[in-house]
Structure 1
């Protein structure tokens, strides 16, 4: 184990004179409290270390001890349903209100273990050798670490065991023995190995109509959600966490203000899982790293979160990771880079900002695991551009590496229109891959209707500029109808209340029914106006209120009411056409 002595300190970065070889990214222990740090660079006998804890009590001459291993976290059954800091040290379930210096991981817990293998079985890397089925919370698999395999020598009997206790002994092909516990460590900056990547074939259903129907993200895909202060990013991410079709939720609060993060930590454990009726936290992991915590730990929290997500993915689970926000993570990179004396690039960020973002989003994918199961990690990263400027470096670089772009618009948020996603700036590159899935859901018209809605919204924006100049009443009837129909699509379909019992979640079947009902109205309205029916007559139809409020009034168990609403559309337009014909004949 290499040793060094601190020569000088600058905030979270220190320089030390080494008395042995250190490796880049090696984990180190610093000072009398053995604070956690990581080697950033080595020049001759001088090493540069970023410290993940408060450096107030450090002084020149204090020792720095190398561990010989990279920065890693302990992965096991004890992390599900807990709240941690950016280095996976517990913030819940402890006797202290603070993370004590020198704490590297949570205290190991005890769990009911059920073996899935017997002596003389052959197990491969990543295979499940045991199962944990607690009275509360979801069932988990115990995995053979990716670097271990061989013949089972012995396995623990069914019963309660500590998660760090040896429950499996293996002998590999070279005759070496391996002791395996329910938990194991893994370097956070190293992606966990997989069997192979699979195709993007199924959407991550979020229950939000704007996303699922217009800008879907594939399960195992990536999405960026930029937005300025007050545009609703946190509420939207909580809605996604609660309603998306993921087996496990990993929520990373990276560098947010303490008061915002405290609200999340207070409200998130109280959310009810709509699948089970139990607390949502039982299938969630929260990683909280507020802006007043050490800046270096903020930089590591993103990697910690995605490593945790990969661990559950390797159990054959589908994981959604919400990162709020990657801008604060990038600011941590910028601060550390400045303290290292590196030349800044655009916006003062380091030149390697793009490569670090690419490394993070590259770890999202649907995969076949080493154990032969199918799992996925979907990454949804919030971005907080200063002043809502989407041309700043973090937003621009994030767009390069994500397939879905969900920008939050300040004007829509100020008008109390939520979710405040701007439909003409948003896009999804997963649409072509997901169209077959929608056809299998008996919605063959999904792609056409989606394009029709977006076309209406785009035409509305162009006509609104004209209407401000000449007045809406001066526009031709067809253009007035376009404005009316676009307003209806906005109000009836895109607006969705996260706090309404009926409207907060919309299944694919209900989304399809709503789209078909609106599509029918658009067809009949266009034909009626072409036949000479005044636009005001269409605007004043009695069914307009029902159409605008169908998301609030027609629930998941009442899909047949959409057929009734569609018949009402036909009946009212038939009556209007008959009245117009009678007036013409008179």
Structure 2
């Protein structure tokens, strides 16, 4: 049985008349029921003879507005609504990785023959897991919520840390020895105020209730995506939130780069939607073929990825629930001390579902409330429990297809996109280019609120990073000014400095900002490319400004010819194997050669 079919559920005992409500209106997946005054918001309910799953999203008097998470076409006015007195919750424990769930954690591979409660448990209770108990917790030890009392090696890459539920504490009176155990086997018993409590590998947690933390930590470490433009001009901090508006076909490439096995996230929680019956299989196949390493242990990306996929036939409410399900899973892994990245693909139709539900429920504030409660679950924190002390983070990346007209600002497209822009810390607005079909971020409609908070990291690790970024921005800005007047005059009539600016701006766009969707660029390589280009810019500017314009001028044509070999090598560096020490040595050589060319060939020629 699933967790919502437990024997404590009112439906399995004597159901009193007060446990019933009645459907009074049906509008798609949103229904209204009366006689619900003793219910609470976000309570789980069962609707009709088929016991369809629903969740109360709004209460007004004795009338409840309810999301239905199943096929709703059979619901009619007058059907019963049973109050469960429980919140919609997830079962958290070993077995999540590599599994595919729907928006309320029902295993997709076990959903057959329609909806209702005929589903397998979220976790496989028949698997025996290799459990290793913590050596720091013994009989007589006082343990509290968040403390780790054991570890399960879920696969070759992921260590699943077994934690005491956040709302628990007590003195240990029983501790299981290392060995093989099932999900429901008792591993720990505590006593608190003369009451004994048993704990297994799993526990449940409401999807809309953020898991408690010890304290919030500053956003002072970058979330590296492998995209050169995003990692430099529009950085996001680990624990930040990103919204990605873009036309059809422009978002998935960015998400796939963030999913790259070399990304810095320990855990990936992917929330998507299927376009066909083959989509789930394709996602699993891609993850299963993407190699990664945890230390020296090889594995695959599927070993550190949890998938939440909504099919096209699922109601809008299930798409919305998938956001909170993904956030709860991400927080669960964060509490273990991992850096979790939650990726929400636009195919999940979450934005359209939010807007539809807000319109049907007649609640004008519902949209902003739902979005705020979702994005606020991102963050970098000190985890609850001090045994051992640890830090973790949840970063949220949400893709969305804005309903704007061509030429309009993406941020003014529709209520959902606008609300996301106001809440998220970073916005990457994408534009699809025909050449190479690369996804490029439109700097005019993108933003980052994380730059100032990350300056400390950049200053400590890359002392010249801030100055290089300032130069990059100045080059692009100068380019736009020159291009405004260049149609009025011939390019040959431009000053040498302007010719240089246009050429280096083109170099930046071609070799630095443009990036194939399947290419991951480590940050050390990004720094090497940027440092080489800005060095060329500085020395070229100095050479042009300091030489005699009339007697022996240094032209951009002369400089570009001298640097032709260097520029070719710089271009090829993007495609070299990302072995850090080799790449850094190669960039150091390029830097030295640039300095040598200017000192012995360009400046000496004057």
Match of 1:381, SS?
Answer: strand
Q: Is the 8 A contact 1:85 1:289 kept in 2?
A: yes
Q: How far 1:419 sits from its partner (Å)?
A: 4.2
Match of 2:395, SS?
Answer: strand
> Given the alignment, which residue of 326, 332, 341 partners 2:353?
332
For 2:399 and 2:375, the matched residues in 1 are separated by 12
CA offsets 1:300-348 (integer angstroms, 9 cap, x no match): 11111001000011111111111123993232122223333x16xxxxx
Which stretch of the first structure deviates more once superposed, 163-172 or 82-91? Answer: 163-172
> Given the alignment, which residue of 423, 428, 443 partners 1:423?
443
Residue of structure 1 equivalent to 2:568: 545
Match of 1:186, SS?
Answer: strand
Residue of structure 1 equivalent to 2:133: 115
Q: How far 1:433 sits from its partner (Å)?
A: 2.1
Q: TM-score, normalised by structure 2?
A: 0.86
Q: How far 1:162 sits from its partner (Å)?
A: 2.0
Q: Is the 8 A contact 2:151 2:162 kept in 1?
A: yes
Residue of structure 1 equivalent to 2:54: 37
Residue of structure 1 equivalent to 2:302: 281
Residue of structure 1 equivalent to 2:168: 148
Which stretch of the first structure deviates more once superposed, 284-293 or 368-377? Answer: 284-293
Q: How far 1:488 sits from its partner (Å)?
A: 1.0
Q: Is the 8 A contact 2:268 2:304 kept in 1?
A: yes
1:394 aligns with 2:416: yes
Match of 2:520, SS?
Answer: coil
Match of 2:291, SS?
Answer: coil
Which stretch of the first structure deviates more once superposed, 373-382 or 155-164? Answer: 155-164
For 1:98 and 1:220, the matched residues in 2 are separated by 40
1:472 aligns with 2:491: yes
1:5 aligns with 2:30: no
Runs of 5+ unmatched residues, structure 2 = 1-9, 11-18, 548-552
Closer, same or farther: CA 463–104 of 1 in aligned 2, 3 Å: farther
> Given the alignment, which residue of 362, 382, 393 partners 2:376?
362
Residue of structure 1 equivalent to 2:457: 437
Match of 1:353, SS?
Answer: helix
Match of 1:465, SS?
Answer: helix
Alignment of 1:297-316 (within 5 A): 297-316=318-337
Residue of structure 2 equivalent to 1:16: 33
Q: How far 1:38 sits from its partner (Å)?
A: 0.7
Residue of structure 1 equivalent to 2:64: 47
Alignment of 1:417-566 (within 5 A): 418-441=438-461, 443-499=462-518, 504-530=519-545, 531=547, 532-540=553-561, 541-542=563-564, 543-553=566-576, 555-556=578-579, 557-566=582-591
> Given the alignment, which residue of 17, 38, 43 partners 1:26?
43
Q: How far 1:120 sits from its partner (Å)?
A: 2.1
Alignment of 1:74-473 (within 5 A): 74-92=91-109, 94=110, 100-102=115-117, 103=119, 105-109=121-125, 110=127, 111-116=129-134, 117-134=137-154, 136-172=156-192, 174-231=193-250, 233-242=251-260, 243-253=262-272, 263-273=282-292, 275=294, 276-325=297-346, 328-340=349-361, 342=362, 350-372=364-386, 373-387=390-404, 389-392=410-413, 393-410=415-432, 413-416=433-436, 418-441=438-461, 443-473=462-492
For 2:171 and 2:527, the matched residues in 1 are separated by 52
For 1:229 and 1:296, the matched residues in 2 are separated by 23
CA offsets 1:418-444 (integer angstroms, 9 cap, x no match): 341123443322222222222332x21
Closer, same or farther: CA 461–105 of 1 in aligned 2, 3 Å: farther
For 2:114 and 2:190, the matched residues in 1 are separated by 36
Q: Is the 8 A contact 1:255 1:325 kept in 2?
A: no
Which stretch of the first structure deviates more once superposed, 269-278 or 542-551? Answer: 269-278
Runs of 5+ unmatched residues, structure 1 = 344-349, 582-586
Closer, same or farther: CA 358–338 of 1 in aligned 2, 3 Å: closer
Residue of structure 1 equivalent to 2:7: none
Closer, same or farther: CA 528–432 of 1 in aligned 2, 3 Å: same
Closer, same or farther: CA 357–45 of 1 in aligned 2, 3 Å: closer
Closer, same or farther: CA 452–218 of 1 in aligned 2, 3 Å: same
Which stretch of the first structure deviates more once superposed, 269-278 or 126-135? Answer: 269-278
Closer, same or farther: CA 258–421 of 1 in aligned 2, 3 Å: farther
Q: How far 1:153 sits from its partner (Å)?
A: 2.3
Residue of structure 1 equivalent to 2:598: 573
Match of 1:304, SS?
Answer: helix
Q: How far 1:552 sits from its partner (Å)?
A: 2.0
For 1:480 and 1:527, the matched residues in 2 are separated by 14
Closer, same or farther: CA 512–297 of 1 in aligned 2, 3 Å: same
For 2:426 and 2:59, the matched residues in 1 are separated by 39
Closer, same or farther: CA 526–333 of 1 in aligned 2, 3 Å: same
Q: Is the 8 A contact 1:90 1:99 kept in 2?
A: no
Q: How far 1:113 sits from its partner (Å)?
A: 1.9
For 2:451 and 2:58, the matched residues in 1 are separated by 43
For 1:134 and 1:329, the matched residues in 2 are separated by 30
CA offsets 1:170-194 (integer angstroms, 9 cap, x no match): 222x322222221111111111000
Q: How far 1:536 sits from its partner (Å)?
A: 2.6
Match of 1:268, SS?
Answer: helix
For 2:145 and 2:331, the matched residues in 1 are separated by 15
Closer, same or farther: CA 471–269 of 1 in aligned 2, 3 Å: farther
Residue of structure 1 equivalent to 2:550: none
Which stretch of the first structure deviates more once superposed, 277-286 or 41-50? Answer: 41-50
Closer, same or farther: CA 337–213 of 1 in aligned 2, 3 Å: closer
Residue of structure 2 equivalent to 1:584: none
Q: TM-score, normalised by structure 1?
A: 0.89
Q: Is the 8 A contact 2:267 2:305 kept in 1?
A: yes
Q: Is the 8 A contact 1:330 1:353 kept in 2?
A: no
1:67 aligns with 2:84: yes
Match of 1:549, SS?
Answer: helix
Closer, same or farther: CA 183–44 of 1 in aligned 2, 3 Å: same
Aligned residues, how many? Answer: 563
Closer, same or farther: CA 351–23 of 1 in aligned 2, 3 Å: closer
Q: Is the 8 A contact 1:424 1:458 kept in 2?
A: no
Q: How far 1:417 sits from its partner (Å)?
A: 6.6
For 1:30 and 1:139, the matched residues in 2 are separated by 39
Q: Is the 8 A contact 1:318 1:376 kept in 2?
A: yes
CA offsets 1:365-420 (integer angstroms, 9 cap, x no match): 1111111321111112222112473312323222222222222123xx22337341
